Structure 1
Amino acid sequence: MFGIYLKRELGRRKKAALVIAMGLALGIALVITVNSVSAGMNQAQDKVLKSLYGLGTDMTVTKAQSAPKAGSSQGPSFKFGATSSSSTSQSTDRVNTQGGQALASSLVTKVGSQKGVSAAVGALTLNVTKVDGSFTQGKAKSSTTSGSSGSSQQGGPGGGGGTSSTGAPQVQGGGANFNVNSYSVAGIDVTDQTLGPLSTSKITTGKTFTTAQTNAKVAVISKSYAKTKKYKVGSTFKISSTKFTVIGIATPNSSESTIDVYVPLKQAQTLGDSKNKVTTIYVKATDSKQISTVKTTIQKNISGTTVTTSADLASTVSGSLSTASNLATSVGKWLSIAVLIAAFLVAALLTSSAVSRRVREFGTLKALGWPSRKVTRQVVGESMVNGLIGGGLGIALGLLAAYTVTAISPKLTAQLGSTSTGGGGGMGSGPGGGQGGPGQQATSNTLEIALNAPVSLTTIALAVGLAVAGGLIAGAFGGWRASRLRPADALRRVE
């Protein structure tokens, strides 16, 4: 009886049921869209942080660069030997540590022994500025001038002839033609490559380091750097007269890496004249929920260091990714809540209006012996069906909107606050720092991320719950109105 009557009444009021369902559908679709876009924003931010920190890395430990001494020169210095040849090729590499003040390698073990730390590895980041070119010596030429004697010229008979003099010599021609090339080198702990700069990349050609190559003269280079220099597996190149052999080419997993060359840590320490030194310690916590506690422990037990977590780094992300994320989090969520509330209110008002138009019907049913709870159940049942229909339409619209965003994949940029390698080793410095000219390198990490809008099962479950809630709210309001009707009063009213 209940089902037959429900089907008949919904069939009689198709337009009203469709309006209620569409109102709920729009609100639910907006909630799904905002939630999926917000999830995509979080994924994009995770990609940015992982590209800088490394997969599985929870925090980094660095040390701020000490202030330069008074009178000390911070600029680049290149020295070339003088030769007597007219044209001489010259080449030199200037290697500087990058990313703050160097830390003792022993601190890696100390950090790894702290409570809550699962693993810790050290890395040394260098900036290599290569200058090569040639000098061309100029040629000195002297000029001669001539003149004639006047009547006052003294001398014997016939002594009135012309004279000539030699001027100061002048250098003509010569000069210098030099190229400057700057690239970044990361020395990594080859015994544990799951943390650190190389963990953000995948070896697509060749192979990675073995645990036995702790001091081998081998290198893994980034795909972009290999393309620029036309290197391939087996190619050789020199850094400060040390020849390295390319054994692998790495492609970033999530975004463009700013490290060009990866070498074993000991080789990097030799190149940078930083024996037993590292610039960054990468740390993985035993429990991701205790990262802030581990950070406090490290700062307390190892003074003078700066501990940067992924949350700290996320707060420095700017650009369109940050702007869009803030809009999705604040404006988008509040807008979806407002639309959802409006949809619920419209459904409740339309259901109540429908009850008012069915006064004689409900009055007759009560006169025939229907109790108020049965009338209320009938109204709630109709509203629940409307809510489920609206939920189905809303889920379909929300999935369509999320699929459209994923198909378009709008590009967002993420940029970290600029620092300099001559300054503090705070956020944004260290491995992952950008390249600049010689001297103090400007760290500018600008990454381009494609936005996706994944829809999780949790979001679908939320949509179903909202559909049921919308139906219950509308049904409860309309059922309350219907239950208050008195048969005698209802029958006296005319539609």
Structure 2
Amino acid sequence: MFFTYLRRELRRRRKAALVVASGLALGIALVIVVSSVSAGMNQAQGKVLESLYGLGTDMTVTKAAPPPGEGGTVRRPRFQFDAKEEGDGEQSQDLVMVEGFEALAASTVAKVAEQDGVADAVGGLNVRVVKVDGEFRRGEFKQDSGGKTMRGGPPTGEVRGGGADFDVNSYSVYGTDVARQTLGPLTSSKITSGRTFKESETDAKVAVVDSAYAKEQKLSVGGTLTISGTKYGIIGIATADSGDAAANVYLPLAQAQTLADAKDKVTTVYVQAADSQRIDGVKDTIQKNIPGTTVTTSADLAQTVSGSLSTASDLASGVGKWLSIVVLAAAFLVAGLLTSAAVSRRVREFGTLKALGWKSRRVTGQVAGEALVNGLIGGALGIGVGLAGAWAITAFSPTLTAQLGAGGGPQSLGGGGGGGRMLAGGPGGAARESASKALDIALTAPVSLTTIGLAVALAVAGGLIAGGFGGWRASRLRPADALRRVE
């Protein structure tokens, strides 16, 4: 009997059922699209983290900034040239500095790796090389016409010409643990020529160069790169997946430490969590057990993102969420009112059924069942429309721009190679230096099983809410009153 009435009512009330199902479908589809776009935003922010710190990195650990007034004296760039007595003076000097002038003890890497929830931890050293290359030109003394001199003094005249002409070339160097290359910025680049480091090259004078920097400086595999008087053989050319490399030059960690006079030091610890759902807990554990450190996750980076990615993320999490709630609430309300109105038109029918012995609970169940089927139909339509919307977003892949560190602490040092690179002037500078660039991210809208499950739950909830309205109305009918009313 239940299914007989169910089929009859769906056929007889096709328009009303379609309105209810369509309203629910719109709300559910909007929830799916907003949820999938939000998931795409999270993935985009994860790509930003990967482009800065490498694949597999869930968080980074750097030295905490000192309290205001306790930062001590920061070593500033200082160049000293030897004077030459004769001829023009050609001068060249490399200044190698740890990024941000702050570093952690290398033993911190092992401490981080021991923390609960950490799957792997690798240390790296971010270094800035500033190369000054040029010459001093001696001026010529031009005596005044007539050759007159002051009484008892030298000839009068002026020095003409001379001066100095220097070129400043600033580029970044990253010291990588060649024995553990599964984490770190180098993993975000692909070797397009030559090879990467071997595990045996822990202290070898070899280098991998970013392709853009290699093209600018006309470097190639088999050539050499001189840094602060030390020659490094170029073994590979790497191309960044994001189009902008984390560093211009990659060296074995021990060599970078030697160049920067930072023995047994690292600037960043790259951490991979054992469970991606426990990243916040792992962050708290590290900061609690290893004082003097700052832990940065992709969620933390998202707070510093500006540009269209930030705008779209705010819209998805703010406007999109509330719009979904409003549309769903409206759809549920409309479904409930239409179901209640349908019950009003079926007063004589339900009165007759009650007179024939139907219990109020059975009448309520009949109405609720019909509403639930309408909700499931709306859910099926909503899932279809939502999947289509998510597919369209992924297919067109609109490009969003993520600008990190805008208005932050990094300050341009100027120079040649790596022209857009920055020199951070404070603790954590390595992270901020890398984050000062703009990245173009293609937006996708992945739909997870959780999102589908949420859509089904909403469909059932919509049906039950509508059924509750109608069932409550039907349960209040008395057979005698119902039979006296004219439909």
TM-score using structure 1 length: 0.83
Does structure 1 residue 318 correspond to structure 2 residue 293? no
Does structure 1 residue 96 correspond to structure 2 residue 88? no
Aligned to 2:46: 46
Query: Root-mean-square deviation (CA), in Å?
Result: 3.2
Deviation at 1:291, TM superposition (A): 5.5
CA–CA distance in 1 between the matches of 2:267 and 2:389?
Answer: 46
Deviation at 1:209, TM superposition (A): 0.6
Deviation at 1:23, TM superposition (A): 0.9
Mind listing any 5+ residue stretches in structure 1 that lack a counterpart?
148-165, 435-442
Counterpart secondary structure, 1:185: strand
Aligned to 1:238: 226
The 1:287/1:397 distance shift into structure 2, 3 A limit, reads closer
CA–CA distance in 2 between the matches of 1:288 and 1:182?
Answer: 37
Q: Which amino acid aligns with 2:297?
A: S
Counterpart secondary structure, 1:308: strand
Aligned to 2:427: 425
Does structure 1 residue 191 correspond to structure 2 residue 179? yes
Does structure 1 residue 334 correspond to structure 2 residue 336? no
Aligned to 1:128: 129
Aligned to 1:25: 25
Identify which range, 273-282 or 248-257, moves more after superposition: 248-257
Q: How many positions carry a matched residue from both structures?
A: 464
Does structure 1 residue 412 correspond to structure 2 residue 401? yes
Identify which range, 406-415 or 15-24, moves more after superposition: 406-415
Q: Which amino acid aligns with 1:143?
A: D
Greater C-alpha Rg: 1
CA–CA distance in 1 between the matches of 2:279 and 2:387?
Answer: 35
| C-alpha contact (below 8 Å) 2:175/2:256 kept by paired residues | yes
Counterpart secondary structure, 2:156: coil
Aligned to 1:267: 255
| C-alpha contact (below 8 Å) 1:47/1:255 kept by paired residues | no
| C-alpha contact (below 8 Å) 2:51/2:246 kept by paired residues | no
Q: Which amino acid aligns with 1:351?
A: T
The 1:422/1:202 distance shift into structure 2, 3 A limit, reads closer
The 1:345/1:240 distance shift into structure 2, 3 A limit, reads same
Identify which range, 131-140 or 384-393, moves more after superposition: 131-140
Aligned to 1:157: none
CA–CA distance in 1 between the matches of 2:286 and 2:452?
Answer: 41
Aligned to 1:439: none
CA–CA distance in 2 between the matches of 1:115 and 1:487?
Answer: 67
Counterpart secondary structure, 1:212: coil
CA–CA distance in 2 between the matches of 1:368 and 1:402?
Answer: 51
| C-alpha contact (below 8 Å) 1:57/1:196 kept by paired residues | no
Deviations along 1:221-278, whole A, 9 cap, x unmatched? 2233233334333332221222222222323345733311110012112221223332
Aligned to 1:482: 474
Counterpart secondary structure, 2:30: helix
CA–CA distance in 1 between the matches of 2:174 and 2:369?
Answer: 66
After superposition, residues 37-436 of structure 1 pair within 5 angstroms as 37-54=37-54, 55-62=56-63, 64=65, 67-69=71-73, 74-79=76-81, 81-82=83-84, 84-85=86-87, 89-113=90-114, 117-145=118-146, 168-253=156-241, 256-285=244-273, 303=291, 305-310=292-297, 313-314=300-301, 316-320=303-307, 321-406=309-394, 407-416=396-405, 418-420=408-410, 423-426=425-428, 429-430=429-430, 433-434=433-434
Deviation at 1:217, TM superposition (A): 1.6
Indicate which of 425, 441, 452 corresponds to 2:444.
452
| C-alpha contact (below 8 Å) 1:100/1:430 kept by paired residues | no
| C-alpha contact (below 8 Å) 2:132/2:169 kept by paired residues | yes
Counterpart secondary structure, 1:447: strand
Deviation at 1:295, TM superposition (A): 5.2
Deviation at 1:383, TM superposition (A): 1.8
CA–CA distance in 1 between the matches of 2:80 and 2:279?
Answer: 44
TM-score using structure 2 length: 0.84
Q: Which amino acid aligns with 2:145?
A: T
CA–CA distance in 2 between the matches of 1:237 and 1:253?
Answer: 24
Deviation at 1:93, TM superposition (A): 1.8
| C-alpha contact (below 8 Å) 1:221/1:250 kept by paired residues | yes
Deviations along 1:108-155, whole A, 9 cap, x unmatched? 4454455665443322211111222344433332232499xxxxxxxx
Deviation at 1:374, TM superposition (A): 4.2
Q: Which amino acid aligns with 1:318?
A: V
Mind listing any 5+ residue stretches in structure 2 that lack a counterpart?
149-153, 411-422
Q: Which amino acid aligns with 1:132?
A: D
Q: Which amino acid aligns with 2:37?
A: V
CA–CA distance in 2 between the matches of 1:112 and 1:234?
Answer: 36
| C-alpha contact (below 8 Å) 2:53/2:246 kept by paired residues | no
CA–CA distance in 2 between the matches of 1:396 and 1:291?
Answer: 33
| C-alpha contact (below 8 Å) 1:259/1:432 kept by paired residues | no
| C-alpha contact (below 8 Å) 1:416/1:446 kept by paired residues | no
Aligned to 1:158: none
| C-alpha contact (below 8 Å) 2:92/2:132 kept by paired residues | yes
CA–CA distance in 2 between the matches of 1:293 and 1:490?
Answer: 61
Deviation at 1:348, TM superposition (A): 0.5
CA–CA distance in 2 between the matches of 1:289 and 1:14?
Answer: 45
Aligned to 1:153: none
Deviation at 1:78, TM superposition (A): 4.6
| C-alpha contact (below 8 Å) 2:286/2:295 kept by paired residues | no
Aligned to 2:419: none
CA–CA distance in 2 between the matches of 1:365 and 1:290?
Answer: 57
| C-alpha contact (below 8 Å) 2:208/2:250 kept by paired residues | yes
Q: Percent same amino acid among aligned pairs?
A: 57
Deviation at 1:344, TM superposition (A): 0.6
CA–CA distance in 1 between the matches of 2:331 and 2:116?
Answer: 51
| C-alpha contact (below 8 Å) 1:64/1:423 kept by paired residues | no
CA–CA distance in 2 between the matches of 1:246 and 1:266?
Answer: 17
CA–CA distance in 1 between the matches of 2:290 and 2:161?
Answer: 60
CA–CA distance in 1 between the matches of 2:75 and 2:195?
Answer: 41
Deviations along 1:311-344, whole A, 9 cap, x unmatched? 6733642313344333422332233122212111
| C-alpha contact (below 8 Å) 2:94/2:228 kept by paired residues | yes
CA–CA distance in 2 between the matches of 1:181 and 1:470?
Answer: 65
Q: Which amino acid aligns with 1:48?
A: V
| C-alpha contact (below 8 Å) 1:78/1:94 kept by paired residues | no
Indicate which of 454, 467, 475 corresponds to 2:459.
467
Q: Which amino acid aligns with 1:270?
A: T
CA–CA distance in 1 between the matches of 2:277 and 2:339?
Answer: 47
Identify which range, 413-422 or 467-476, moves more after superposition: 413-422
The 1:492/1:185 distance shift into structure 2, 3 A limit, reads same
